[in-house]
Amino acid sequence: MRLATLKRGGRDGTLVAVARDGTRVAPVTGFPTLQSALDTWDAAQDALAAATEAAETGEAVAAEDFAAPLPRAWQWLDGSAFPTHGDLMQTAFNLPPIETTKPLMYQGMSHRFIAPTDDVALPSEADGIDFEGEFGVVTGDVPMGVSATDALDHIRLIVLINDWSLRTLAPAEMKTGFGWVQAKPACSAAPFAVTPDELGTAWADGRVCLPLTVEVDGTWFGHPSGRAMAYGFHELVAHAAATRDLPAGTIIGSGTVSNAEHATVGSTCISERRAIEMIAGGKPETGFLRFGTRVAMRAGPFGAIDQRVVRA
């Protein structure tokens, strides 16, 4: 099934099931928000199924009616599970390898996820405005110490995310060892959160085996596949829950989708393309985003992110 949140009913919006064509919806009886359904997922299944059926002849809506699936979430944990991306950054910037056998992950802001067609307001072009296309999962309640095998059963939904980044602010924050604050503004999310079964064979080994297509002002930027994760989402969930439980509504990201075949499939962030240019020619050629630029992302059944960057 595909679930979404409409921009009505308060700060957490109104939960709806979505028809196959993505233009009709139906409310979920007894569950006004996606968080309320996640809190009691098993009890919500009959209502979700009924709403999914009703959506085929339900209310017609436009793309701008959708909020992010979770307009605000209890927790946002972002991984870096594509080794090609890390290898390119280390080579281009002469960084030492990160000595760890565990997944890389940080905790970001979760109190706001930007709607898929809303403008993205940022303070300055000088901050190095960049996008990062990635997949994410939304969990139910996850017990502390869950195994990676069992963690699969706690993944409720899969989402598509644009993790906005301000690249010129990141190095100073990284040097502090305390993580990002100013360099990581709110993320955007595609309109539809889908259950794993909705992906069919494209959901395999805890990975979204689909190309993630990115366009900048209508020009193709890349379409690498989510298959190439070094750690599946079940392993990322287990890593996040090693020493704490996770509340229902936790979102865990894959990090920038990146493939070794970047010469043909492109990239999902400007920083990676700049790193490739530096390795090949000694200097970056692609600039960061200017105000007025449109960034679009799409993959499979998630619907599209299509946004304009504007001055705050």
Residue type, 46: D
Average per-residue pLDDT in the chain? Answer: 96
**What would the mean pLDDT of 47-55 be, rounded to a whole number?**
98
Take residue 198 and report the two structure tokens written for it. 């909705």
Question: If DSSP codes are grouped into helix, strand and coil, which group holds residue 139?
Answer: strand
Take residue 158 and report the two structure tokens written for it. 């899969």
**What would the mean pLDDT of 17-41 be, rounded to a whole number?**
98
% of the chain at pLDDT higher than 70: 100
Strands 250-253 and 75-79: parallel
Give the pLDDT confidence of 201-241 residue by residue, as tens digits. Answer: 999 999 999 999 999 999 999 999 999 999 999 999 999 99
For residue 301, what are the contacts with CB-CB under 8 A and spacing of at least 6?
Answer: 2, 192, 194, 198, 199
The DSSP letter of residue 97 is P
Q: How confident is the model at residue 136 (pLDDT cuts 50, 70, 90)?
A: very high
The residue with tokens 């994760």 is: 229
Question: Would the pLDDT of 93 be above 90?
Answer: no
The DSSP letter of residue 244 is S
pLDDT attached to residue 25: 98
Q: For 63-67, 88-92, 144-148, 245-249, which range has the lowest pLDDT when averaged over its residues? A: 88-92
Take residue 183 and report the two structure tokens written for it. 């360099």
pLDDT attached to residue 266: 98
pLDDT attached to residue 149: 97
**What is the C-alpha to C-alpha distance for residues 83 and 228, in angstroms, rounded to an integer?**
8
**What is the C-alpha to C-alpha distance for residues 252 and 292, in angstroms, rounded to an integer?**
30
Take residue 205 and report the two structure tokens written for it. 């080994």
Q: How confident is the model at residue 14 (pLDDT cuts 50, 70, 90)?
A: very high
Other beta carbons less than 10 A from residue 11's beta carbon = 10
**What would the mean pLDDT of 100-116 be, rounded to a whole number?**
94
Q: How confident is the model at residue 99 (pLDDT cuts 50, 70, 90)?
A: confident
Question: Would the pLDDT of 174 be above 90?
Answer: no
The residue with tokens 């960057």 is: 309
pLDDT attached to residue 165: 97
**What would the mean pLDDT of 12-40 be, rounded to a whole number?**
98
Domains in the chain, ordered, with CATH?
A: 1-67 (no CATH), 70-311 (3.90.850.10)
% of the chain at pLDDT higher than 90: 93
For residue 79, what are the contacts with CB-CB under 8 A and spacing of at least 6?
Answer: 103, 104, 105, 231, 236, 239, 252, 253, 254, 255
Apex 55 CA angle, 21 and 51, nearest 5: 135
Count how many Cα atoms sit within 13 Å of the Cα of residue 50 in the half-sphere of its side chain.
10
